[in-house]
C-alpha cells in the first residue's frame, strides 16, 4: 500500500491523525458542537452538573483495588481502577453523562448512538431516560442477535433500537447509519458518539469526559501507595478508557503507558483487531487514523472475542501517541484474555469484561516477556464488568467451568 | 486532456443530464452497457463512482449498489478499467468521478489523480474530504489537470459557499436535501428555491443531485438555474428491479429496467436547449 503519507489533518489534529473527513452536510453540526465544547463544557455550571451527576447517579469516585492474589499470578503488584463499579457496568457512563448534559444545554431533544456489543447503547439509553431525550440506538443486525440482553436493557430504558442491515451489519455499519441519521436530523438531534473516534471535535470531547478516570486514579495512588505506578495498562478498541486513564500520566515520563489491543486468533492469523500494530493510515468515520484495510482502502472486518474491541479503526490520539513513542501498544489473544477473565474471577472475586481482561492478560505475561522486573507496581484500568459476557463465555468456553456448567452450551 | 471535455460540454449546451453509476454494478460489463444506454438516451455527462464498503453519505439504494459492485469484484483498478472502456467508446464525454476519500488516500493522491486522468476522468469529487482538509488534494488536481468539484448543502451559508466556489474549477455539487442520497417524491418547490439561491450566489456551474427521481424534479432544477441534474438512487433502484426481474446473463433485464427509469428524464432534458 502506498497510502497518502503526506496528508496532515487540520481540524483538531493529533500530529498526522484526526481531522474532519466527513461530508459538507455535517459541517453545521460539527461547528455547533465545537462551539458548545468551547463555551458550555468549559462553564462552571456545566462542570458542576457533570460532577454531581457522576457522583450521585453514576457512583463516582470508583475504587482503586489492590489485587493481592492476582498480583501473585502476575509476579507484580497490580492495582485495579474499578470502572466496572460505575453505574451501567463500564467507564462508558462518564462520556454519556457528559454528552447528555451537553446535548440538553444545546437544546437538543433527541439523541442517537451507535453500539456494537450494546454497552454504549445501554449507557446512552440510561442517560436518555434520566435527561428526558427521545433515544435511538443503531446496532448491527448481527449484533442485535448476539447481544439480546443488552437490546432488552435499552428498550427497558425507553430507547428505540434500530437493527442495521447494511454492509457487514456490525459496529462500523451502525456508525455509518448514525452519521446518516445525524446528517438528516441535525437540528434537533445530537449524535452521542461512544468512543474517542470520529470527526473533530469528538475525539477531544469524549476524551475530556473520561479524564476523570486517570485523575481519580492518580490521586488515589498518591494517597494509598505513594509516588507513581511504573506502568498504566488499559485495553484499546476505539480507545476511550485508555485515553481516559493515560491522560493524567501523559507528562509523567517515568510512567509507561501501555495499550493492549485484541490479538484475536493471533496477529499473523489476520483475525484480530490490532489496529495500531497491524493497521495503516486511512480515513474512517471522519478521522485520519490507523485503520485495518486492504490495499485499495476497503475497510476490513476485525475479530475479537470482546465485541467492544472489535473495531477496524482506533482513536486518532492513540495513533499519535504510538508514533511519538509516548505510549506502547501490545496485544493478547482471545485465549489469553479468557484466561485472565477466569483468573481474576477466581483469585479476586471480580468478573471483568472481556475487553478489560485484555489489559489483565498483558499483566499476566509482562514479567515473562521481560518487559518488567518482578514486583513492579502497575495500574490497570478494569474498564467494565463481565456480566454481559457470560452467555458468550458459556457458549465458547463453558466446558472450562467446573461442576454444573453445560459442556457445549447447546441449550440456549 | 479529458478536463477539456467538461468545459466543451458546458460551452456547447446549457442543461445536462448526468446519470450516476457505481462502476461494476451489477457487473463491470453490464455497467459499461448501462453507460452506453444512458448516452444513447441523451445523457451528456456521466457521474461515476468507485464502490466503497462504507459509503456513509449514501442512502440505502446507493449503498446496495456499492455492495453489488464489491460482490462483483469491482476493485479500484477494475472500476477504472470500466471508465477506460467508456472513454474509448465516447472520447468527448465528460466523466465526473465521485469517490470516497479512503480509496484515494490508499492509492496516494498523486497516483490516484494520475490514474483517473489516464482513464478519461474530467473531474473528481471526494464527498468525505471536507474543504478544510482538502488543500493537498486540490493542489494535486490542479497541478495534474483534473477538474475539482466540491459539495454544498441546504445549510451551507453564503460566505462558505463563496469560499468553496473560489477553489472550484469543475462544478459545485449541490445536495438538494439535508440528508443522504435517496430517491424522493415531491418537494420540487423547496429544491427550486435552494438551487436558485445557490446559482445566484456563485459563478461556477451548479450541479444538483441527491433525490432527483422524476422529470418534474429535473425540470424544476433546470428552471432554477442548475446546469446539471444528477440522477442516482432512482437508477440504482431500477438496476435492482432489473436484477430481480430474471437471470442476470448479459444484463438484458437490467438494461431494460434502467431504460424504463431513465428515458422519461432524458426526454425532459431533450426539451431544454
Per-residue pLDDT, A198: 97
What are the cell numbers at A225?
Answer: 501507595
Average pLDDT of chain B to the nearest whole number? 94
Contact A283 B105 (CB under 8 A): yes
Report the percent of chain A where pLDDT is more than 90: 87
The per-residue pLDDT for range B148-184, each reduced to its tens digit, is 999 999 999 999 999 999 999 999 999 988 887 776 6
Mean per-residue pLDDT for A150-168?
Answer: 94
Q: For residue B64, what is the DSSP state? A: H
Contact B152 A24 (CB under 8 A): yes
What are the cell numbers at A271?
Answer: 483475525
Q: Give catalytic status of residue B47 as yes or no.
A: yes
Q: Is the pLDDT of residue A89 over 70?
A: yes
Contact B105 A3 (CB under 8 A): yes
Distant-in-sequence contacts of B68-73, Cβ < 8 A, 24+ apart: B68/B22, B68/B24, B68/B25, B68/B26, B68/B239, B68/B243, B69/B22, B69/B23, B69/B24, B69/B25, B69/B26, B69/B31, B70/A298, B70/B24, B72/B24, B72/B25, B72/B26, B72/B27, B72/B28, B73/B24
Mean per-residue pLDDT for A317-346?
Answer: 98
Mean per-residue pLDDT for A285-313?
Answer: 95
Per-residue pLDDT, B213: 87
Per-residue pLDDT, A169: 85
Interface residue of B52, B103, B130 to substitute, partner A, most A CBs within 10 Å: B130
User: With bands split at pLDDT 50, 70 and 90, how would you rate the model's confidence at B1?
Assistant: low
Option in A7, A286, A298 nearest B53 (CB): A298
Does residue A110 contact residue A411 with C-beta atoms inside 8 Å? no
- What is the DSSP annotation of A63-75? PEEE-HHHHHHHT
Per-residue pLDDT, A42: 97
The per-residue pLDDT for range A121-130, each reduced to its tens digit, is 999 999 999 9
Given B47, B115, B150, B240, which residue is catalytic? B47
To the nearest whole Å, the CA of B12 is away from the closest chain A CA by 30
Per-residue pLDDT, B273: 60
Interface residue of B65, B102, B174 to substitute, partner A, most A CBs within 10 Å: B102
Average pLDDT of chain A to the nearest whole number? 94
Q: Is the pLDDT of residue A274 over 90?
A: yes
Q: How many CB pairs under 8 A join A and B?
A: 143
Per-residue pLDDT, B189: 76
Per-residue pLDDT, A305: 93
Report the percent of chain B where pLDDT is more than 70: 97
The per-residue pLDDT for range B186-220, each reduced to its tens digit, is 567 778 899 999 999 999 999 998 888 889 889 99
Distance of alpha carbon A172 from alpha carbon A182, whole angstroms: 15
Distance of alpha carbon A296 from alpha carbon A174, whole angstroms: 23
Report the percent of chain A where pLDDT is more than 70: 97
Q: Is the pLDDT of residue B125 over 70?
A: yes
Is pLDDT larger for residue A411 or for residue B111? B111
A87 vs A90, A220, A260, A386, CA distance in Å?
7, 20, 24, 14
Is pLDDT larger for residue B190 or for residue A290? A290
Per-residue pLDDT, A410: 42
What is the C-alpha end-to-end distance of chain A, expressed in Å? 44
To the nearest whole Å, the CA of B76 is away from the closest chain A CA by 7
Interface predicted TM-score of the whole assembly (ipTM), two decimals? 0.95
Per-residue pLDDT, A406: 45
Q: Is the pLDDT of residue A412 over 60?
A: no
Per-residue pLDDT, A402: 60
- What is the DSSP annotation of A123-136? HHHHHHHHHT-EEE
Contact A293 B102 (CB under 8 A): yes
Per-residue pLDDT, A408: 43
Q: Which residues numbered 165-204 in B keep a CB inside 8 Å of some CB on A? A: 175, 178-180
The per-residue pLDDT for range A227-253, each reduced to its tens digit, is 999 999 999 999 999 999 999 999 999
Domains of chain B: 2-271 (3.20.20.70)
Per-residue pLDDT, A276: 98
Is pLDDT larger for residue B238 or for residue A173? B238
Given A92, A104, A108, A218, which residue is catalytic? A92
Given A34, A83, A114, A348, which residue is catalytic? A114
| Short-list B174, B223, B176, CA closest to B201 | B174
A322 vs A15, A280, A327, CA distance in Å?
11, 13, 5
B76 and A CB contact within 8 Å: yes
Tell me the Cα Rg of chain A.
20
Q: Which residues numbered 92-121 in B keep a CB inside 8 Å of some CB on A? A: 101-109, 111
Per-residue pLDDT, A146: 78
Distance of alpha carbon A197 from alpha carbon B131, whole angstroms: 20
Amino acid at each position: 500500500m502506498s497510502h497518502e503519507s503526506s496528508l496532515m489533518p487540520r481540524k483538531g489534529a493529533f500530529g498526522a491523525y484526526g481531522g474532519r473527513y466527513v461530508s459538507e452536510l455535517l459541517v453545521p453540526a460539527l461547528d455547533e458542537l465545537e462551539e458548545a465544547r468551547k463555551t458550555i463544557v468549559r462553564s462552571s455550571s456545566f462542570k458542576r452538573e457533570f460532577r454531581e451527576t457522576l457522583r450521585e447517579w453514576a457512583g463516582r469516585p470508583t475504587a482503586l483495588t489492590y489485587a493481592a492474589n492476582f498480583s501473585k499470578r502476575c509476579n507484580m503488584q497490580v492495582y485495579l481502577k474499578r470502572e466496572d463499579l460505575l453505574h451501567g457496568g463500564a467507564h462508558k457512563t462518564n462520556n454519556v453523562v457528559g454528552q447528555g448534559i451537553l446535548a440538553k444545554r444545546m437544546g437538543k431533544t433527541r439523541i442517537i448512538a451507535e453500539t456494537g456489543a450494546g454497552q454504549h447503547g445501554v449507557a446512552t439509553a440510561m442517560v436518555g431516560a434520566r435527561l428526558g431525550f427521545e433515544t435511538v440506538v443503531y446496532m448491527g443486525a448481527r449484533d442485535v442477535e448476539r447481544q439480546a440482553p443488552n437490546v432488552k436493557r435499552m428498550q427497558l430504558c425507553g430507547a428505540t433500537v434500530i437493527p442495521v442491515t447494511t454492509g457487514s451489519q456490525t459496529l462500523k455499519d451502525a456508525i455509518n447509519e448514525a452519521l446518516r441519521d445525524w446528517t438528516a436530523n441535525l437540528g434537533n438531534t445530537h449524535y452521542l458518539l461512544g468512543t474517542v473516534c470520529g470527526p473533530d471535535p469528538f475525539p477531544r470531547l469524549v476524551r475530556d469526559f473520561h479524564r476523570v478516570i486517570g485523575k481519580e486514579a492518580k490521586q488515589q495512588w498518591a494517597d494509598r501507595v505513594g509516588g507513581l505506578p511504573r506502568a498504566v495498562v488499559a485495553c484499546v478498541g476505539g480507545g476511550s478508557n485508555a485515553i481516559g486513564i493515560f491522560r493524567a500520566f501523559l507528562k509523567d515520563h517515568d510512567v509507561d503507558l501501555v495499550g493492549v489491543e485484541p490479538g484475536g486468533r493471533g496477529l499473523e492469523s489476520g483475525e484480530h483487531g490490532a489496529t495500531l500494530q497491524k493497521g495503516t493510515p486511512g480515513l474512517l468515520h471522519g478521522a485520519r487514523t490507523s485503520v485495518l484495510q486492504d490495499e485499495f482502502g476497503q475497510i476490513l472486518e476485525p475479530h475479537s472475542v470482546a465485541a467492544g474491541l472489535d473495531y477496524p479503526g482506533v482513536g486518532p490520539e492513540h495513533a499519535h501517541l504510538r508514533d511519538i513513542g509516548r505510549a506502547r501498544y501490545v496485544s493478547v489473544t482471545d485465549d489469553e484474555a479468557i484466561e485472565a477473565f477466569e483468573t481474576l474471577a477466581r483469585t479476586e472475586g471480580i468478573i471483568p469484561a472481556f475487553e478489560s481482561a485484555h489489559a489483565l492478560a498483558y499483566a499476566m505475561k509482562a514479567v515473562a516477556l521481560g518487559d518488567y522486573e518482578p514486583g513492579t507496581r502497575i495500574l490497570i484500568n478494569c474498564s467494565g464488568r463481565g456480566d454481559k459476557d457470560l452467555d458468550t463465555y458459556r457458549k465458547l468456553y463453558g466446558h472450562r467451568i467446573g461442576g454444573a456448567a453445560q459442556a457445549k452450551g447447546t441449550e440456549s | 486532456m479529458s478536463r477539456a471535455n467538461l468545459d466543451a460540454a458546458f460551452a456547447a449546451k446549457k442543461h445536462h443530464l448526468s446519470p450516476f453509476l457505481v462502476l461494476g454494478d451489477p457487473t463491470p460489463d453490464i455497467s459499461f452497457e448501462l453507460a452506453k444506454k444512458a448516452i444513447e438516451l441523451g445523457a451528456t455527462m456521466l457521474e461515476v463512482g468507485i464502490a466503497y464498503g462504507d459509503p456513509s453519505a449514501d442512502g440505502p439504494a446507493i449503498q446496495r449498489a456499492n455492495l453489488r459492485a464489491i460482490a462483483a469484484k469491482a476493485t479500484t483498478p477494475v472500476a477504472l478499467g470500466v471508465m477506460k472502456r467508456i472513454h474509448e467508446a465516447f472520447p468527448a464525454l465528460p466523466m465526473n468521478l465521485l469517490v470516497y476519500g479512503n480509496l484515494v488516500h490508499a492509492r496516494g493522491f498523486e497516483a490516484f489523480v494520475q490514474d483517473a486522468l489516464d482513464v478519461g476522468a474530467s473531474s473528481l469529487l471526494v464527498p468525505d474530504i471536507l474543504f478544510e482538509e482538502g488543500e493537498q488534494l486540490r493542489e494535486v488536481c490542479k497541478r495534474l489537470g483534473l477538474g475539482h468539484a466540491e459539495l454544498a448543502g441546504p445549510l451551507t451559508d453564503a460566505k462558505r459557499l463563496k469560499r468553496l466556489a473560489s477553489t472550484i474549477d469543475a462544478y459545485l455539487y449541490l445536495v438538494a436535501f439535508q440528508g443522504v442520497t435517496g430517491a424522493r417524491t415531491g418537494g420540487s418547490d423547496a429544491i427550486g428555491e435552494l438551487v436558485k439561491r445557490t446559482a445566484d450566489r456563485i459563478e461556477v456551474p451548479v450541479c444538483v443531485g441527491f433525490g432527483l427521481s422524476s422529470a418534474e424534479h429535473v425540470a424544476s432544477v433546470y428552471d432554477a438555474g442548475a446546469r446539471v441534474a444528477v440522477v442516482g438512487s432512482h437508477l440504482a433502484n431500477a438496476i435492482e428491479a432489473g436484477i430481480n426481474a430474471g437471470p442476470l446473463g448479459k444484463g438484458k433485464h437490467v438494461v431494460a429496467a434502467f431504460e424504463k427509469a431513465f428515458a422519461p428524464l432524458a426526454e425532459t432534458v431533450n426539451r431544454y436547449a
